[in-house]
A and B are shown apart, each in its own frame.
Chain A
Protein backbone atom coordinates (compact mmCIF):
# COMPACT_ATOMS: atom_id res chain seq x y z
CA UNK A 1 0.00 0.00 0.00
CA UNK A 2 1.49 3.39 -0.92
CA UNK A 3 1.64 6.58 1.12
CA UNK A 4 -1.33 8.13 -0.62
CA UNK A 5 -3.59 5.24 0.46
CA UNK A 6 -2.11 5.40 3.91
CA UNK A 7 -2.99 9.06 4.17
CA UNK A 8 -6.51 8.65 2.89
CA UNK A 9 -7.14 5.73 5.24
CA UNK A 10 -6.54 7.94 8.21
CA UNK A 11 -8.33 10.99 6.89
CA UNK A 12 -11.41 12.08 8.86
CA UNK A 13 -13.65 11.25 5.91
CA UNK A 14 -12.60 7.61 5.99
CA UNK A 15 -15.30 5.34 7.36
CA UNK A 16 -14.69 1.82 8.66
CA UNK A 17 -17.93 -0.15 8.96
CA UNK A 18 -17.77 -3.36 10.98
CA UNK A 19 -20.48 -6.01 10.60
CA UNK A 20 -20.58 -8.09 13.76
CA UNK A 21 -19.91 -6.99 17.35
CA UNK A 22 -18.45 -10.18 18.77
CA UNK A 23 -14.91 -10.71 19.95
CA UNK A 24 -13.45 -10.00 16.48
CA UNK A 25 -15.44 -6.89 15.58
CA UNK A 26 -14.87 -5.17 18.90
CA UNK A 27 -11.17 -5.97 19.04
CA UNK A 28 -10.83 -4.55 15.53
CA UNK A 29 -12.28 -1.22 16.65
CA UNK A 30 -10.15 -1.20 19.78
CA UNK A 31 -7.01 -1.88 17.72
CA UNK A 32 -7.89 0.71 15.06
CA UNK A 33 -8.08 3.43 17.71
CA UNK A 34 -5.02 2.15 19.57
CA UNK A 35 -3.08 2.25 16.29
CA UNK A 36 -4.08 5.88 15.81
CA UNK A 37 -6.94 5.69 13.31
CA UNK A 38 -8.92 8.92 13.51
CA UNK A 39 -11.63 8.38 10.89
CA UNK A 40 -15.25 7.33 11.44
CA UNK A 41 -16.17 3.92 12.85
CA UNK A 42 -19.59 2.27 12.76
CA UNK A 43 -20.29 -1.05 14.46
CA UNK A 44 -23.36 -3.04 13.43
CA UNK A 45 -24.55 -5.84 15.72
CA UNK A 46 -27.60 -8.07 15.32
CA UNK A 47 -28.18 -8.90 18.96
CA UNK A 48 -29.94 -6.31 21.08
CA UNK A 49 -27.86 -7.17 24.14
CA UNK A 50 -24.75 -5.15 24.93
CA UNK A 51 -21.69 -6.98 23.48
CA UNK A 52 -20.58 -9.81 25.78
CA UNK A 53 -18.13 -12.68 26.02
CA UNK A 54 -19.44 -16.04 24.87
CA UNK A 55 -16.87 -18.51 26.28
CA UNK A 56 -18.22 -18.53 29.86
CA UNK A 57 -21.76 -19.35 28.66
CA UNK A 58 -21.14 -23.10 28.37
CA UNK A 59 -19.07 -23.23 31.57
CA UNK A 60 -19.33 -21.00 34.68
CA UNK A 61 -22.61 -19.55 33.48
CA UNK A 62 -24.32 -22.93 33.89
CA UNK A 63 -23.51 -23.28 37.60
CA UNK A 64 -26.38 -23.52 40.09
CA UNK A 65 -27.79 -20.29 41.45
CA UNK A 66 -29.41 -17.15 40.17
CA UNK A 67 -28.98 -16.10 36.56
CA UNK A 68 -25.42 -14.82 36.20
CA UNK A 69 -24.58 -11.54 34.57
CA UNK A 70 -22.85 -11.74 31.22
CA UNK A 71 -19.27 -10.50 31.09
CA UNK A 72 -19.14 -7.51 28.73
CA UNK A 73 -16.50 -7.36 26.00
CA UNK A 74 -15.87 -3.72 26.88
CA UNK A 75 -17.30 -1.17 29.27
CA UNK A 76 -20.25 0.90 28.05
CA UNK A 77 -18.09 4.00 28.01
CA UNK A 78 -15.67 2.35 25.56
CA UNK A 79 -17.91 3.20 22.61
CA UNK A 80 -18.44 6.93 23.24
CA UNK A 81 -14.84 7.36 24.40
CA UNK A 82 -13.58 5.85 21.16
CA UNK A 83 -16.10 7.73 19.04
CA UNK A 84 -17.73 4.53 17.78
CA UNK A 85 -21.25 4.62 16.38
CA UNK A 86 -22.37 1.30 17.89
CA UNK A 87 -25.78 0.13 16.73
CA UNK A 88 -27.42 -2.87 18.38
CA UNK A 89 -30.27 -4.94 17.00
CA UNK A 90 -29.37 -4.04 13.43
CA UNK A 91 -29.12 -6.59 10.64
CA UNK A 92 -27.25 -6.02 7.41
CA UNK A 93 -29.28 -7.34 4.48
CA UNK A 94 -26.98 -6.57 1.55
CA UNK A 95 -23.59 -5.27 0.51
CA UNK A 96 -23.22 -3.18 -2.63
CA UNK A 97 -19.49 -3.29 -3.30
CA UNK A 98 -19.65 -1.06 -6.36
CA UNK A 99 -21.43 1.69 -4.44
CA UNK A 100 -19.55 0.86 -1.22
CA UNK A 101 -22.68 0.70 0.90
CA UNK A 102 -24.40 -1.77 3.16
CA UNK A 103 -28.18 -1.94 3.44
CA UNK A 104 -29.77 -2.40 6.86
CA UNK A 105 -33.00 -4.22 7.70
CA UNK A 106 -34.81 -0.90 8.16
CA UNK A 107 -34.04 -0.13 4.51
CA UNK A 108 -31.42 2.53 5.21
CA UNK A 109 -27.91 2.39 3.78
CA UNK A 110 -24.53 3.09 5.31
CA UNK A 111 -21.60 4.10 3.11
CA UNK A 112 -18.17 2.70 3.88
CA UNK A 113 -14.60 3.24 2.78
CA UNK A 114 -13.51 -0.03 4.39
CA UNK A 115 -15.89 -2.85 5.31
CA UNK A 116 -14.94 -5.50 7.86
CA UNK A 117 -17.02 -8.67 7.96
CA UNK A 118 -16.87 -10.18 11.43
CA UNK A 119 -20.12 -12.06 11.04
CA UNK A 120 -19.04 -15.13 13.00
CA UNK A 121 -20.81 -18.44 12.73
CA UNK A 122 -24.22 -19.91 13.38
CA UNK A 123 -25.00 -23.17 15.13
CA UNK A 124 -25.55 -26.05 12.77
CA UNK A 125 -29.15 -27.14 13.25
CA UNK A 126 -30.74 -30.56 13.26
CA UNK A 127 -33.50 -31.55 10.91
CA UNK A 128 -34.47 -34.90 12.46
CA UNK A 129 -38.10 -35.41 13.56
CA UNK A 130 -38.90 -33.52 16.75
CA UNK A 131 -36.09 -30.97 16.40
CA UNK A 132 -38.48 -28.09 17.02
CA UNK A 133 -39.91 -29.46 20.29
CA UNK A 134 -39.62 -27.23 23.34
CA UNK A 135 -36.69 -28.28 25.50
CA UNK A 136 -34.36 -28.82 22.52
CA UNK A 137 -31.76 -26.07 22.84
CA UNK A 138 -28.72 -24.76 21.06
CA UNK A 139 -26.06 -22.82 22.93
CA UNK A 140 -24.35 -19.86 21.37
CA UNK A 141 -25.94 -16.60 22.40
CA UNK A 142 -26.70 -15.13 25.79
CA UNK A 143 -30.39 -15.69 25.03
CA UNK A 144 -29.65 -19.40 24.46
CA UNK A 145 -27.71 -19.59 27.71
CA UNK A 146 -30.41 -17.80 29.69
CA UNK A 147 -33.05 -20.22 28.38
CA UNK A 148 -30.98 -23.27 29.29
CA UNK A 149 -29.91 -21.93 32.69
CA UNK A 150 -33.53 -21.18 33.56
CA UNK A 151 -34.46 -24.85 33.02
CA UNK A 152 -31.49 -26.55 34.68
CA UNK A 153 -32.92 -26.15 38.17
CA UNK A 154 -35.73 -28.58 37.48
CA UNK A 155 -34.43 -31.17 35.07
CA UNK A 156 -33.39 -34.69 36.03
CA UNK A 157 -31.94 -35.96 32.78
CA UNK A 158 -30.14 -34.13 30.02
CA UNK A 159 -29.08 -35.49 26.63
CA UNK A 160 -26.31 -33.72 24.77
CA UNK A 161 -26.06 -34.20 21.01
CA UNK A 162 -22.42 -33.96 19.93
CA UNK A 163 -19.22 -34.52 21.92
CA UNK A 164 -17.46 -31.35 20.82
CA UNK A 165 -16.17 -28.59 23.07
CA UNK A 166 -19.56 -26.97 23.75
CA UNK A 167 -21.35 -30.25 24.36
CA UNK A 168 -18.73 -31.60 26.74
CA UNK A 169 -18.26 -28.32 28.60
CA UNK A 170 -21.99 -28.23 29.15
CA UNK A 171 -22.10 -31.94 30.08
CA UNK A 172 -19.46 -31.42 32.77
CA UNK A 173 -21.24 -28.32 34.11
CA UNK A 174 -24.55 -30.22 34.27
CA UNK A 175 -22.89 -33.13 36.10
CA UNK A 176 -21.54 -30.68 38.67
CA UNK A 177 -25.18 -29.82 39.37
CA UNK A 178 -26.02 -33.50 39.87
CA UNK A 179 -27.98 -33.84 36.64
CA UNK A 180 -27.85 -37.18 34.77
CA UNK A 181 -26.11 -36.58 31.44
CA UNK A 182 -25.92 -38.71 28.31
CA UNK A 183 -23.82 -37.53 25.37
CA UNK A 184 -24.43 -38.95 21.89
CA UNK A 185 -21.60 -38.62 19.41
CA UNK A 186 -21.85 -39.87 15.85
CA UNK A 187 -18.06 -40.13 15.42
CA UNK A 188 -15.88 -42.70 17.12
CA UNK A 189 -14.15 -40.23 19.45
CA UNK A 190 -14.92 -36.97 21.26
CA UNK A 191 -13.59 -33.62 20.00
CA UNK A 192 -12.17 -35.52 17.05
CA UNK A 193 -11.91 -32.48 14.81
CA UNK A 194 -9.44 -30.77 17.15
CA UNK A 195 -7.73 -33.29 19.42
CA UNK A 196 -5.16 -36.02 18.89
CA UNK A 197 -6.58 -39.55 19.27
CA UNK A 198 -4.54 -39.92 22.47
CA UNK A 199 -6.25 -36.95 24.10
CA UNK A 200 -9.69 -38.01 22.87
CA UNK A 201 -9.12 -41.35 24.62
CA UNK A 202 -8.21 -39.59 27.85
CA UNK A 203 -11.38 -37.49 27.73
CA UNK A 204 -13.56 -40.57 27.21
CA UNK A 205 -12.34 -41.88 30.56
CA UNK A 206 -12.41 -38.48 32.22
CA UNK A 207 -16.07 -37.92 31.35
CA UNK A 208 -16.98 -41.41 32.50
CA UNK A 209 -15.35 -40.59 35.85
CA UNK A 210 -17.45 -37.42 36.02
CA UNK A 211 -20.49 -39.63 35.63
CA UNK A 212 -21.29 -38.68 32.04
CA UNK A 213 -22.67 -41.49 29.87
CA UNK A 214 -20.76 -41.01 26.64
CA UNK A 215 -22.14 -42.96 23.67
CA UNK A 216 -19.74 -42.96 20.72
CA UNK A 217 -20.66 -44.05 17.20
CA UNK A 218 -24.27 -43.22 18.05
CA UNK A 219 -26.07 -40.34 16.39
CA UNK A 220 -29.47 -38.77 16.81
CA UNK A 221 -32.42 -40.28 14.94
CA UNK A 222 -35.38 -38.40 16.42
CA UNK A 223 -36.86 -36.64 19.42
CA UNK A 224 -40.12 -37.66 21.06
CA UNK A 225 -42.25 -35.22 23.01
CA UNK A 226 -45.35 -34.82 25.05
CA UNK A 227 -47.55 -31.73 24.73
CA UNK A 228 -44.93 -30.10 22.56
CA UNK A 229 -42.04 -30.67 24.97
CA UNK A 230 -39.22 -33.17 24.48
CA UNK A 231 -39.33 -36.29 26.68
CA UNK A 232 -36.85 -38.64 25.02
CA UNK A 233 -34.17 -39.00 22.40
CA UNK A 234 -33.95 -41.94 20.00
CA UNK A 235 -30.47 -42.71 18.72
CA UNK A 236 -29.32 -44.23 15.43
CA UNK A 237 -28.88 -47.58 17.18
CA UNK A 238 -32.55 -47.59 18.19
CA UNK A 239 -31.88 -46.84 21.84
CA UNK A 240 -34.17 -44.42 23.64
CA UNK A 241 -32.86 -42.01 26.29
CA UNK A 242 -35.19 -40.05 28.57
CA UNK A 243 -34.55 -36.32 28.34
CA UNK A 244 -36.01 -33.33 30.18
CA UNK A 245 -33.68 -31.09 28.21
CA UNK A 246 -31.59 -31.61 25.07
CA UNK A 247 -28.55 -29.57 24.21
CA UNK A 248 -27.49 -29.69 20.57
CA UNK A 249 -23.80 -28.98 20.00
CA UNK A 250 -22.98 -30.31 16.54
CA UNK A 251 -20.75 -27.54 15.30
CA UNK A 252 -21.24 -24.31 13.43
CA UNK A 253 -21.41 -22.97 9.92
CA UNK A 254 -19.64 -19.71 9.04
CA UNK A 255 -21.99 -16.85 8.26
CA UNK A 256 -21.05 -16.09 4.68
CA UNK A 257 -24.39 -15.31 3.02
CA UNK A 258 -23.83 -11.55 2.82
CA UNK A 259 -20.36 -11.99 1.34
CA UNK A 260 -21.52 -14.59 -1.16
CA UNK A 261 -24.49 -12.49 -2.27
CA UNK A 262 -22.14 -9.58 -2.93
CA UNK A 263 -20.04 -11.77 -5.23
CA UNK A 264 -17.14 -12.42 -2.87
CA UNK A 265 -15.53 -15.86 -2.95
CA UNK A 266 -16.76 -18.21 -0.25
CA UNK A 267 -15.48 -21.69 0.50
CA UNK A 268 -15.83 -22.85 4.12
CA UNK A 269 -15.75 -19.20 5.11
CA UNK A 270 -15.13 -15.94 3.32
CA UNK A 271 -11.95 -16.27 1.31
CA UNK A 272 -9.26 -13.80 2.38
CA UNK A 273 -5.56 -13.43 1.61
CA UNK A 274 -2.71 -13.45 4.10
CA UNK A 275 -3.48 -9.86 5.08
CA UNK A 276 -7.10 -10.96 5.79
CA UNK A 277 -8.42 -8.95 2.86
CA UNK A 278 -10.94 -10.34 0.37
CA UNK A 279 -10.43 -10.01 -3.38
CA UNK A 280 -12.10 -6.58 -2.95
CA UNK A 281 -9.39 -4.33 -1.47
CA UNK A 282 -12.03 -2.45 0.54
CA UNK A 283 -13.43 -5.54 2.27
CA UNK A 284 -11.84 -7.61 5.04
CA UNK A 285 -13.13 -10.71 6.83
CA UNK A 286 -11.91 -11.84 10.26
CA UNK A 287 -12.65 -14.43 12.93
CA UNK A 288 -14.96 -17.45 12.69
CA UNK A 289 -16.28 -16.41 9.27
CA UNK A 290 -12.89 -16.06 7.52
CA UNK A 291 -11.01 -18.69 5.55
CA UNK A 292 -7.35 -17.70 5.40
CA UNK A 293 -4.02 -19.17 4.28
CA UNK A 294 -2.63 -20.52 7.54
CA UNK A 295 1.10 -20.65 8.12
CA UNK A 296 0.62 -23.21 10.90
CA UNK A 297 -1.86 -25.45 9.08
CA UNK A 298 0.18 -25.33 5.88
CA UNK A 299 -3.05 -24.81 3.97
CA UNK A 300 -6.17 -22.66 3.97
CA UNK A 301 -8.15 -22.97 7.15
CA UNK A 302 -10.96 -21.45 9.17
CA UNK A 303 -10.76 -21.43 12.97
CA UNK A 304 -13.35 -20.86 15.66
CA UNK A 305 -11.66 -19.39 18.71
CA UNK A 306 -11.16 -16.25 20.75
CA UNK A 307 -7.47 -16.17 19.86
CA UNK A 308 -8.23 -16.35 16.15
CA UNK A 309 -10.85 -13.60 16.43
CA UNK A 310 -8.74 -11.17 18.42
CA UNK A 311 -5.39 -11.75 16.72
CA UNK A 312 -6.97 -11.46 13.26
CA UNK A 313 -8.70 -8.27 14.41
CA UNK A 314 -5.38 -6.79 15.53
CA UNK A 315 -3.81 -7.75 12.23
CA UNK A 316 -6.64 -6.42 10.07
CA UNK A 317 -6.63 -3.10 11.93
CA UNK A 318 -2.99 -2.64 10.98
CA UNK A 319 -3.66 -3.74 7.41
CA UNK A 320 -6.47 -1.17 7.10
CA UNK A 321 -3.95 1.48 8.16
CA UNK A 322 -1.59 0.37 5.42
CA UNK A 323 0.77 -1.65 7.59
CA UNK A 324 0.63 -4.81 5.58
CA UNK A 325 2.23 -8.14 6.30
CA UNK A 326 1.16 -11.75 6.53
CA UNK A 327 -1.02 -12.94 9.36
CA UNK A 328 0.90 -15.77 11.03
CA UNK A 329 -0.20 -15.81 14.67
CA UNK A 330 -0.03 -19.15 16.44
CA UNK A 331 -3.50 -20.65 16.94
CA UNK A 332 -4.33 -21.60 20.52
CA UNK A 333 -7.50 -22.82 22.19
CA UNK A 334 -8.87 -23.71 25.57
CA UNK A 335 -11.74 -25.59 27.12
CA UNK A 336 -12.85 -26.05 30.71
CA UNK A 337 -14.62 -29.33 31.41
CA UNK A 338 -15.38 -29.74 35.10
CA UNK A 339 -12.03 -29.65 36.88
CA UNK A 340 -10.13 -30.23 33.64
CA UNK A 341 -8.41 -27.30 32.02
CA UNK A 342 -7.63 -28.20 28.40
CA UNK A 343 -5.26 -25.93 26.50
CA UNK A 344 -4.03 -26.45 22.95
CA UNK A 345 -1.15 -24.63 21.25
CA UNK A 346 -0.83 -25.10 17.50
CA UNK A 347 -2.96 -27.25 15.22
CA UNK A 348 -3.07 -31.03 15.60
CA UNK A 349 -3.26 -32.87 12.28
CA UNK A 350 -3.88 -36.50 11.45
CA UNK A 351 -0.61 -38.23 10.82
CA UNK A 352 1.22 -36.35 13.56
CA UNK A 353 3.25 -38.54 15.89
CA UNK A 354 2.53 -37.93 19.56
CA UNK A 355 4.64 -38.12 22.71
CA UNK A 356 3.16 -38.21 26.17
CA UNK A 357 4.63 -35.92 28.83
CA UNK A 358 3.45 -36.82 32.32
CA UNK A 359 0.93 -39.37 33.54
CA UNK A 360 -2.71 -39.02 32.44
CA UNK A 361 -3.75 -40.86 35.62
CA UNK A 362 -2.74 -37.72 37.56
CA UNK A 363 -4.98 -35.52 35.34
CA UNK A 364 -1.94 -33.29 34.76
CA UNK A 365 -0.11 -34.05 31.53
CA UNK A 366 0.52 -32.95 27.96
CA UNK A 367 0.60 -34.56 24.54
CA UNK A 368 3.30 -33.20 22.23
CA UNK A 369 2.59 -33.63 18.49
CA UNK A 370 5.41 -33.79 15.97
CA UNK A 371 5.19 -33.34 12.22
CA UNK A 372 8.20 -34.01 10.03
CA UNK A 373 10.29 -34.40 13.16
CA UNK A 374 9.43 -30.93 14.46
CA UNK A 375 7.10 -29.81 17.23
CA UNK A 376 3.72 -28.89 15.70
CA UNK A 377 1.23 -28.76 18.57
CA UNK A 378 0.89 -29.36 22.30
CA UNK A 379 -2.31 -30.33 24.10
CA UNK A 380 -2.22 -29.87 27.86
CA UNK A 381 -4.54 -30.96 30.64
CA UNK A 382 -4.14 -28.96 33.85
CA UNK A 383 -0.59 -28.07 32.76
CA UNK A 384 -0.70 -24.35 31.88
CA UNK A 385 3.09 -24.20 32.18
CA UNK A 386 3.51 -26.71 29.35
CA UNK A 387 0.94 -24.82 27.31
CA UNK A 388 2.60 -21.45 27.68
CA UNK A 389 6.04 -22.96 26.99
CA UNK A 390 4.63 -24.55 23.84
CA UNK A 391 3.14 -21.24 22.72
CA UNK A 392 6.50 -19.58 23.13
CA UNK A 393 8.36 -22.33 21.25
CA UNK A 394 5.87 -22.64 18.37
CA UNK A 395 5.56 -18.89 18.05
CA UNK A 396 9.31 -18.69 17.49
CA UNK A 397 9.38 -21.71 15.19
CA UNK A 398 11.44 -23.65 17.72
CA UNK A 399 11.17 -27.32 18.60
CA UNK A 400 12.15 -29.84 21.23
CA UNK A 401 13.06 -33.44 20.52
CA UNK A 402 10.52 -36.19 21.23
CA UNK A 403 12.94 -37.48 23.88
CA UNK A 404 13.03 -34.07 25.60
CA UNK A 405 9.24 -33.84 25.43
CA UNK A 406 8.82 -37.18 27.18
CA UNK A 407 11.48 -36.45 29.85
CA UNK A 408 9.93 -34.76 32.90
CA UNK A 409 13.50 -33.95 34.00
CA UNK A 410 13.79 -31.67 30.96
CA UNK A 411 12.54 -28.22 32.02
CA UNK A 412 10.50 -27.21 28.99
CA UNK A 413 9.43 -23.93 30.59
CA UNK A 414 13.01 -22.71 31.17
CA UNK A 415 14.04 -23.99 27.76
CA UNK A 416 11.23 -22.03 26.09
CA UNK A 417 12.33 -18.85 27.84
CA UNK A 418 16.00 -19.22 26.85
CA UNK A 419 16.76 -17.66 23.48
Chain B
Protein backbone atom coordinates (compact mmCIF):
# COMPACT_ATOMS: atom_id res chain seq x y z
CA UNK B 1 0.00 0.00 0.00
CA UNK B 2 1.37 3.38 -1.00
CA UNK B 3 0.12 6.56 0.63
CA UNK B 4 0.19 9.59 -1.64
CA UNK B 5 -0.38 13.12 -0.35
CA UNK B 6 -1.15 15.92 -2.78
CA UNK B 7 -0.67 19.35 -1.22
CA UNK B 8 -2.58 22.20 -2.86
CA UNK B 9 -1.58 25.86 -2.78
CA UNK B 10 -4.63 26.72 -0.62
CA UNK B 11 -3.35 24.42 2.11
CA UNK B 12 -5.75 21.56 1.47
CA UNK B 13 -4.44 18.03 1.04
CA UNK B 14 -5.75 15.09 -0.98
CA UNK B 15 -4.62 11.74 0.36
CA UNK B 16 -4.81 8.72 -1.94
CA UNK B 17 -3.94 5.20 -0.85
CA UNK B 18 -3.36 2.62 -3.52
CA UNK B 19 -1.92 -0.88 -3.66
CA UNK B 20 -1.59 -1.15 -7.41
CA UNK B 21 1.55 -0.46 -9.39
CA UNK B 22 0.04 2.64 -10.86
CA UNK B 23 1.61 6.02 -11.60
CA UNK B 24 1.18 9.21 -9.59
CA UNK B 25 -0.76 10.65 -12.53
CA UNK B 26 -3.12 7.68 -12.80
CA UNK B 27 -3.70 7.57 -9.05
CA UNK B 28 -4.50 11.30 -9.09
CA UNK B 29 -6.81 11.21 -12.12
CA UNK B 30 -8.63 8.08 -10.97
CA UNK B 31 -9.23 9.62 -7.55
CA UNK B 32 -10.13 13.09 -8.75
CA UNK B 33 -7.19 15.04 -7.37
CA UNK B 34 -7.68 18.51 -8.83
CA UNK B 35 -4.76 20.12 -10.59
CA UNK B 36 -3.43 16.90 -12.14
CA UNK B 37 -4.69 16.64 -15.73
CA UNK B 38 -2.84 13.83 -17.56
CA UNK B 39 -4.21 14.89 -20.90
CA UNK B 40 -1.99 12.60 -23.03
CA UNK B 41 -2.85 9.48 -21.08
CA UNK B 42 0.55 9.03 -19.48
CA UNK B 43 3.09 9.19 -22.28
CA UNK B 44 5.17 12.21 -21.27
CA UNK B 45 3.70 14.13 -24.19
CA UNK B 46 1.78 16.97 -22.56
CA UNK B 47 3.40 17.94 -19.23
CA UNK B 48 0.01 18.39 -17.55
CA UNK B 49 0.74 16.04 -14.63
CA UNK B 50 3.59 18.16 -13.27
CA UNK B 51 4.23 17.80 -9.52
CA UNK B 52 6.83 19.12 -7.08
CA UNK B 53 8.07 16.19 -5.00
CA UNK B 54 8.77 17.12 -1.37
CA UNK B 55 12.55 16.96 -0.71
CA UNK B 56 12.45 14.16 1.84
CA UNK B 57 11.07 11.75 -0.78
CA UNK B 58 13.40 12.57 -3.68
CA UNK B 59 15.88 9.84 -2.78
CA UNK B 60 13.52 6.94 -3.49
CA UNK B 61 12.48 8.03 -6.97
CA UNK B 62 13.59 6.63 -10.32
CA UNK B 63 15.89 8.87 -12.38
CA UNK B 64 14.58 11.41 -14.87
CA UNK B 65 14.61 10.13 -18.47
CA UNK B 66 15.57 12.34 -21.42
CA UNK B 67 11.96 12.75 -22.55
CA UNK B 68 10.73 13.68 -19.12
CA UNK B 69 13.65 16.08 -18.70
CA UNK B 70 12.80 17.91 -21.91
CA UNK B 71 9.07 18.07 -21.17
CA UNK B 72 9.77 19.44 -17.70
CA UNK B 73 11.32 22.48 -19.35
CA UNK B 74 7.89 23.23 -20.77
CA UNK B 75 5.53 23.04 -17.81
CA UNK B 76 2.86 25.71 -17.28
CA UNK B 77 4.21 26.56 -13.82
CA UNK B 78 7.98 26.99 -13.53
CA UNK B 79 10.24 23.97 -13.23
CA UNK B 80 12.03 23.38 -9.96
CA UNK B 81 15.42 21.93 -10.88
CA UNK B 82 15.34 19.49 -7.97
CA UNK B 83 11.69 18.78 -7.18
CA UNK B 84 9.82 18.87 -10.52
CA UNK B 85 8.67 15.56 -11.99
CA UNK B 86 5.96 14.31 -14.35
CA UNK B 87 3.48 12.24 -12.38
CA UNK B 88 3.02 9.81 -15.27
CA UNK B 89 6.69 8.78 -15.11
CA UNK B 90 6.75 7.76 -11.44
CA UNK B 91 5.34 4.31 -10.78
CA UNK B 92 4.18 3.53 -7.29
CA UNK B 93 4.95 0.36 -5.40
CA UNK B 94 8.69 0.56 -6.02
CA UNK B 95 11.17 2.09 -3.61
CA UNK B 96 8.78 3.94 -1.29
CA UNK B 97 5.53 3.40 0.56
CA UNK B 98 4.75 7.05 1.13
CA UNK B 99 5.12 10.13 -1.06
CA UNK B 100 4.18 13.78 -0.70
CA UNK B 101 3.98 16.20 -3.61
CA UNK B 102 2.95 19.81 -4.10
CA UNK B 103 0.49 20.42 -6.94
CA UNK B 104 1.30 23.40 -9.22
CA UNK B 105 -1.25 26.18 -9.62
CA UNK B 106 -1.67 25.54 -13.34
CA UNK B 107 -1.05 22.72 -15.83
CA UNK B 108 -2.39 24.04 -19.13
Q: Closest residue of chain A to B38, judged by CB?
A: A71
Q: Are A334 and B30 in contact (CB under 8 A)?
A: no
Q: Are B26 and A306 in contact (CB under 8 A)?
A: no
C-alpha gap A341/B40 in the complex (Å): 12
> Which residues of chain B have C-beta atoms less than 8 A from A71's C-beta?
26, 29-30, 38, 41-42
Q: Are B40 and A306 in contact (CB under 8 A)?
A: yes
Contact of B70 (CB < 8 Å), options: A74, A384, A392:
A384
> Which residues of chain A have C-beta atoms less than 8 A from B41's C-beta?
53, 55-56, 60, 71
Binary A-proximity of B64-102 (CB < 8 A = 1, otherwise 0): 001100110110000000000000000000000000000
Most interface-central of A71, A81, A310, A413 (chain B CB within 10 A): A71
Do A75 and B32 form a contact, CB below 8 Å, given A55-B41, A341-B43, A341-B45?
yes
State how many residues of chain B have any CB contact under 8 Å with chain A: 22
Q: Closest residue of chain B to A75, judged by CB?
A: B32
> Which residues of chain B have C-beta atoms less than 8 A from A384's C-beta?
44-45, 67, 70-71, 74
A4 within 8 Å of B by Cβ?
A: no
A59 within 8 Å of B by Cβ?
A: yes
Q: Are B73 and A413 in contact (CB under 8 A)?
A: yes
Q: State the main secondary structure of chain B at its contact with A.
A: loop
Binary A-proximity of B24-68 (CB < 8 A = 1, otherwise 0): 001001111100001111111111000000000000000000110
State how many residues of chain A have any CB contact under 8 Å with chain B: 27
> Which residues of chain A have C-beta atoms less than 8 A from B30's C-beta?
71-72, 75
> Which residues of chain B have C-beta atoms less than 8 A from A385's C-beta?
70, 73-74
Q: How far is the CB of A172 from chain B (nearest CB, A)?
A: 13
Do A388 and B70 form a contact, CB below 8 Å, given A59-B43, A60-B42, A71-B41?
yes
Q: Are B45 and A334 in contact (CB under 8 A)?
A: yes
B residues apposed to A, CB below 8 Å:
26, 29-33, 38-47, 66-67, 70-71, 73-74
Q: List 14 A-B contacts (CB under 8 A).
A: A55-B40, A56-B43, A71-B29, A71-B38, A71-B42, A72-B30, A75-B32, A77-B32, A334-B43, A336-B45, A382-B66, A384-B74, A388-B74, A413-B73
